[in-house]
Every structure is written in structure tokens, then in C-alpha cells.
A and B are shown apart, each in its own frame.
Chain A
């Protein structure tokens, strides 16, 4: 018993406290929820709020069921279903569930996310007519931002840009958005500005978003902004600053709570560490976080193998780099990520080149070209492979050429 002193117990409880605090809901969010539960019911009797909280929980469950039902329908059928319903699809809980689902869908089905977010104004109009309350204004603004973000991901940058410009005018005229909502809209707009390579705008928006996230204690949102800031710094060549951003995210989040965001930050950090020639730290970081990649989908495995390949290349362990990057390429080809597969091919070619295996480079490039031609892959990827195939065949392929091709491919990845 003497092994566990009071001091050791204190330390253990202190670690627990640290973990719990990261999961704490924001104070203002709890109060805001209470406010709305009261306002929705139209009652001024605060004493009735507790039972309303229970009711609203049941309503939330019903709303989630309604959203699930809509998801089974085609987008046009969803609109009709909502229009034809007499009492269903009319609650504030339904609007929030719809918006939450739009947020959830964005990673895997951005088109669906945009369609769901676009339903929000229609549902609100059916609920309230033309009454423009504070809540209506705020939730409509957030829905517009969610829709614009989803459109950005589907590649409709012009439409996304237009929605953000309109949104900014609305927010300017009616500055009633709360910190959490402002942070979310700013983060989404920053992602668009990053993609448009308007880095100054992206950084300004991210700085503001992070301020709001910190104000309301939204660790998850803060991590999202930091990851985007890391990408912006990377594109601007500020590798140290990018690395700092990723390190902050890794320290901020528990991998068990936010595996996806931690994985994004770890991937970014390992790539930056490799670029900064810090291979020991990169290898250690990957070792500590392998569980986030293993047993996931094909893409996760491909990313992990790519990171292993990058570290092996840096360490001049050529056969290992070749194997890891080959598995990365195969994974990317399997799921149709031809651009990433091409980058992997260039890295494999690099490892082969270091071992004087020009013939193997030609063979590999020919194999992948055949697949790309059959699929109708874009011109950039095809050109890159044709170029390295011909250079390898004439034994003029060099590391400098490979770097140049890779940079060009990466700059056209948007």
C-alpha cells in the first residue's frame, strides 16, 4: 500500500481532471440551450423548464428519426415530403438535427451535406412564416455557412464564395451571432480562402475563429482551426509555424475522443517533421499513433504506409521506402485517389532511382499509366507518369526532376 502515496493519488486525479476539462461543454452553450428551451415553449415560467428539458430531449430523438427518414429519400423527394407534411418537420429540434446531419455528412458526402443544409431555410419558413427572431437569424446564418462549406468541398467554389459574401453582409447588418456561431462560419470561410490561395484572408479569419473558440472553450473547433492554419503555413513555406500548430492540436485533444482530428494533426506533423529533416521525431510520433490508422479504412492504411515511406526515404532505407510507398499507391488506386497514387509513384521512383533501378521505374510507370488511361484520369497525373517513364528509359531521370514534377502536381492538386 505504501507504493501509492497521497501525492501519487493527487497526480492521478489531476490527470483525470485534465482529461475531463477537455470534454467540458462550453458554459455559454449550456446557458444558450436553456434559454432556447424556454423561448421555444413560449412560457415565462422558469419553474417549468426542467420538465421542458425532458420534453425537449424526447423531441430531439423524434427529430433525429425524422432526419433519418429524410436521408432515405432522394433530394427532390425530401423537399416534397417536407412540404406535404402537416405537422411533422416543424420543430426547432428538427432544424438542429438537420443541421447536425449536414455537418456529419460533409466528410463522406459533401453533396448530401449541402442539400440538407439548403433545406434549413425552407423548414424554418414553414415553422415561423416571415417572423425573423434572433434564433431564426442565427441558425439560418450557420446553415448558409455549412452549405457553403459543403459546396466548397464538392468543388463549387464560385457558389460557395457567393454564399459567404451574402452571409457576411447579413452578419454585418445584424451582429447577433454568438461566439460559437461566428467561429464556425469564420472557420468555414477560412477553408474557402485557403483553397483560393488567399492566405492572408484565411489567416485573418482563422485568428478570429480561434479567439471565439477559446472564448467559448470549444477545443474541437480550436483544433480544426489550428489544423487549417497548419496547412496555410505549410503552403506558405513556414514549416516551423505549421509544425507548432499541429503540435498544439496533438497536445489539445485526446486521441480516443477525436481520432480523426488527431490523425489529421499527426499526419501533418509527420510530413512537416520529415521536411524539416527531423526523422527521429517523425518516426516516434507515428509509432505512438499507429493505432489511429490501423484497422481503419483503406485510405487510412494508405496514408500510414505513405508516412512510413516518407520516413524511410529520409533515412535512405530505399527498399523499405519502396515497399511502403507501393502499398500506399495500391491503396490509393483501389479507392480512386489517382492524384495521391501518382505522388506515391514519384516517391517509389525516387527509391528505385537511388538503387539505379531505371528499368523498374519504366515498368511501374507503364503499369500505372495503363490503369489511368483506362479510367480517364486527368491530364496532370498522366503527364507526370509519361515524363518519368521517358526520363527513366533514357536514364536521364534525376531526383531534381522528380522533385520538380511532384511540386507541380501538388500545386495543381486543388
Chain B
């Protein structure tokens, strides 16, 4: 299986494009913040405290110029690439995690039985989270980018550093697996 370690995204561009003034950059990041938070959660195993660390480090890299936007992709895609790289680096430096750790989002809370729309919405969300956690990393991330971030498969593939064809394969397989898991209640392997 090919390794996905070689990022196709520049963190520091060799031929830097004129950087955005820091104020503009901060504004653009602020506009993207909620989407970036969702993505940081997705690449951090849905652990909110880890997602905060990842996002904070990614913002630092962007704002102090260590990660530079070359203008070759959409700004959002580039920011997502930086976030994904930070998350991956942190996982590597933390040492090998057990498969259970990697797929058990700490934020999943079973709301328990109860009536009402709001509660059923919580129930659906927690079942979806449980099911997503059982997908492979690639499948998890591409489904997040397509359904959660409403990107095209090509845009999602670009962020993940894979070809659009490969992206479509992960997308279709992930979708089929997610449907199976959701129909089983998200608890079955």
C-alpha cells in the first residue's frame, strides 16, 4: 500500500508568491474558521482539545509565514492542507497509537433514549460519528470534505494529495461502508 506521507502541498514555497498582508490573511482565516474547525476535528479523531491544538499551530504557521500560500490552489484548500499536515505531524511525534485510540472519538456521547427532535438529532449525530470513526482515514476525510465541507471530489482529492480518480474510489467505497454501518446502527464492525 503506498504511503501517504509525501505531501503534495507546499508548506514553504520555494518560489514564494507575494504574501498576503498579515491583516488580510487573518481576515481570510477568520472567515474560514468554522470550516477549518470542522476539518481540524475530522483530522484529529474528533478530539476537540487535539483539534484546537492542531488549528492553533496551523494558524501560527500561516500567520508567521512558515506556511506560504503560493496561489496554485484555492486558499481554502491550501489552509486545509496545512491543517492536515500539522495533524499528521503531531500523530507521528506522539508515537504509534493503538487502532482503538485512532478510531474512538472522545467526543462521542450517547445521549440515551428520549423523545423530541433535538434529542433525535443528537442521536443521529452521535451514530454518524461512531460510524465515520470506523472508516479508513482516507474514506473518513474524503467523505468529510464532500458532505460536510460541500466540496467536489476533485477539490477534496487535491487537499488529500491524491488523484481525482483515486479520490472517487475512496469516496464511493467510503459511502458504501458508511451506509452499511449506519444501517447497522454504527456499532457493528
Task: Return chain B residues, CB-CB under 8 Å to A254.
Answer: 118, 122
Q: A374 contacts which chain B residues (CB < 8 A)? A: none
Q: Are B30 and A12 in contact (CB under 8 A)?
A: no
- Residues on A with C-beta less than 8 A from B107 are 23
Interface residues of A in 8-37 (CB under 8 A from B): 9-10, 12-17, 19-21, 23-25, 27-28, 30-31, 33-34
Q: When A25-B37, A46-B66, A50-B60 are in contact, do A4 and B183 touch as well, CB less than 8 Å?
A: yes
Verify if B162 is at the interface (C-beta below 8 Å from A): no
Q: A131: CB under 8 A from chain B?
A: no
A17/B52 in contact, CB under 8 A: no
A288 within 8 A of B: yes
A53-B111 in contact (CB<8A): no
Chain B interface extent, by class: 35 or more
Partner of B64, one of A4, A33, A46: A46
Check B115 against A287 for contact (C-beta < 8 Å): yes
**Shortest Cβ distance from residue B98 to the other chain A in the assembled complex, whole angstroms:** 22
Q: Is the CB of B53 within 8 A of A9?
A: no
B121→A21 contact, CB < 8 A: no
Q: How many residues of A contact B (CB 8 A)?
A: 40
109-142 of chain B: CB within 8 A of chain A: 109, 111-112, 114-116, 118-119, 121-122, 124-125, 128-129
The reply to whether B178 and A15 contact each other, CB–CB distance below 8 Å, is no
Decide if B97 is an interface residue (CB 8 Å cutoff): no
Chain B 146-189: CB-based contact to A (< 8 A → 1; otherwise 0): 01100000000000000000000000000110111011000000
Whole-angstrom distance between the Cβ of B134 and the nearest chain A Cβ: 15
**Within the complex, which residue of A23, A24, A49, A53 is in contact with B33, where a contact is CB–CB below 8 Å?**
A24
**Distance to closest chain A CB from B137 (angstroms):** 17
Known A19-B125, A27-B33; judge A288-B57 contact (CB<8 A): no
User: Among A13, A20, A49, A288, which residue has its beta carbon within 8 angstroms of that of B118?
Assistant: A288
A283-300: which residues lie under 8 A (CB-CB) from chain B? 287-291
- Measured CB to CB, the closest approach of chain B to A283, in angstroms, equals 12
Whether the pair A10, B147 counts as a contact (CB closer than 8 A) is yes
The minimal Cβ–Cβ distance linking B79 to chain A, given in whole angstroms, is 12
Q: CA separation between A10 and B179, bound complex, in Å?
A: 12
| A27 touches which of B29, B60, B175, B178 (Cβ 8 Å) | B29
In the bound complex, CA of A177 to CA of B108 (Å): 36
Asked whether A288 lies within 8 Å of B119 as measured between CB atoms, the reply is yes
Smallest Cβ-Cβ distance to A54: which chain B residue: B53
B143: chain A residues within 8 A (beta carbon): 9, 13
Cβ of A379 to closest chain B Cβ, rounded Å: 44
* CB <8 Å contact, B64 and A12: no
A288 touches B112 (CB 8 A): no
**10 nearest A-B pairs in the assembled complex, by CB-CB distance:** A288-B116, A46-B64, A13-B147, A24-B37, A27-B33, A13-B148, A4-B179, A27-B30, A30-B56, A12-B128
Interface set of A (CB-CB < 8 Å, partner B): 1, 3-4, 6, 9-10, 12-17, 19-21, 23-25, 27-28, 30-31, 33-34, 46-47, 49-50, 53, 57, 217, 250, 254-256, 287-291
| Chain B interfacial positions (CB closer than 8 Å to A) | 26, 29-30, 33-34, 37-38, 41, 48, 52-53, 55-57, 59-60, 63-64, 66, 107, 109, 111-112, 114-116, 118-119, 121-122, 124-125, 128-129, 143-144, 147-148, 175-176, 178-180, 182-183
